[in-house]
Amino acid sequence: MSFETISVIGLGYIGLPTAAVFASRKKKVIGVDVNQHAVDTINQGKIHIVEPQLDIVVRAAVSEGYLRATAIPEAADAYIIAVPTPFKDDHVPDLKYIESASKAIAPTLKRGSLVILESTSPVGATEQMAEWLAEARPDLTFPQQKGESSDIRIAHCPERVLPGHVIRELVQNDRVIGGMTPACSQAAVDLYKTFVEGECITTNARTAEMCKLTENASRDVSIAFANELSLICDDQGINVWELISLANRHPRVNILQPGPGVGGHCIAVDPWFIVSANPKLSRLIRTAREVNDSKPDWVVQKTEQAIAQTQRLLDGRRKPRVAVAGLAFKPDIDDLRESPAMKIAEILSQRTDIDLQFVEPNIEQLPGNLKNGTFSKDIIASSNWCDLILILVDHSLFATSLSKIPKDIVHIDTRGLLK
């Protein structure tokens, strides 16, 4: 099956790279986003997010006429929905963005169209999307109505890329493709084989949805073990980094590294989709989420203890100076979504008895919710200014600057850079 025009709905950290890679294969790509700034930026051949190599691919795709962004969906042969799937306050999945995207593209569908949901979703979301589309287009048939003979093909294909390496992994990684019917799966395989060099493995939509959730829940459980170890080691006076290094010398042990918590749009969110659907059966997954969600509060407590000690030493001469190193949810990116570093920074920024400086080399300005504190990209200058440095993200720039950080300042290292 040939797809010459592809529409990507949602031009964020996954949608824009996906659109750009399709366009780099000489496919006509229409990117759709409700953010007019993003649309205008992309149409200038620029990008509004930080991702290595993406700027080069987007600039070429736009200049050659293969990629164009718009706020209003247009007709295409295939549609890829890559919009956020957050959860509500009670950790129940919120599908409002998928619903909105479905209703937006519905008027442009035609017989033979393929619609793929890439957004990480709770089990059953692809079927729900198909229902929304069917309600909006009663003149067309869908897989839940006509099976293999339906007018519209629908599938789920979750992204599984690493921020900072998205362009490479989009091409090289295997893809799990779950169609609502075998014909839907095959149509999606035909589309992704435009650029995917990895294997495209087919299954049904529900299994594909659960596969992505399982991958991230597995990571979450492993990280929770490391984070819980760090709490125990701190209480016992043991260097957790040394302990893990020694334990990992066992040929069948591979403990991950602890940190200030877990962030991002996947690992910090997706396990709750499993818990929400099966609350009585997902005891370990829930506990792992609770361990990781509680780690930022523990870091705040350790920081407050260090601040109190600094205040005693200063004896009222001035406020303690605290540098918070890193705000992103992982190294060398600008993504602050669900970042444990941001949660810690927000709590500290509410204090008026300290002077704060936030160090984040991958953004241009502080988020509006960090009201009390100044902004810096220079960890060396900040470390020369502060009494206490709190390392929350192991950016490469931080790691290469460690030898220049004064040895006499108090530090709380949540990433093991100083070990």
Give the CA dihedral 249, 254, 259, 261, nearest 10 degrees: -160
d(CA 202, CA 155): 10
Catalytic residue among 27, 184, 200, 212: 212
Q: Read out DSSP for 332-358?
A: T----TT-HHHHHHHHHHT-SSSEEEE
Look at the block and give the residue holding tokens 């989420």. Answer: 289
Active-site residue, from 184, 200, 266, 386? 266
Q: What is the DSSP letter of 195?
A: T
* 124 phi-psi bin (left φ>0, alpha ψ -120 to 50, beta other): left
- Residue 52, both tokens: 């290595």
| Nearest in space to 282 (alpha carbons), one of 271, 290, 293 | 271
Helices (H), 157-265: 166-172, 182-192, 205-236, 240-247
For residue 120, give both structure tokens: 């990480």
Quick check: is 212 catalytic?
yes
What span, in angstroms and rounded, lies between the C-alpha atoms of 100 and 321? 46
Query: What is the spatial distance between Cα 16 and Cα 10, in angstroms, rounded to a whole number?
Result: 7
CA-CA distance, 356 to 310, in Å (whole number)?
14
Active site residue 233: no
> Catalytic residues, which ones?
212, 266
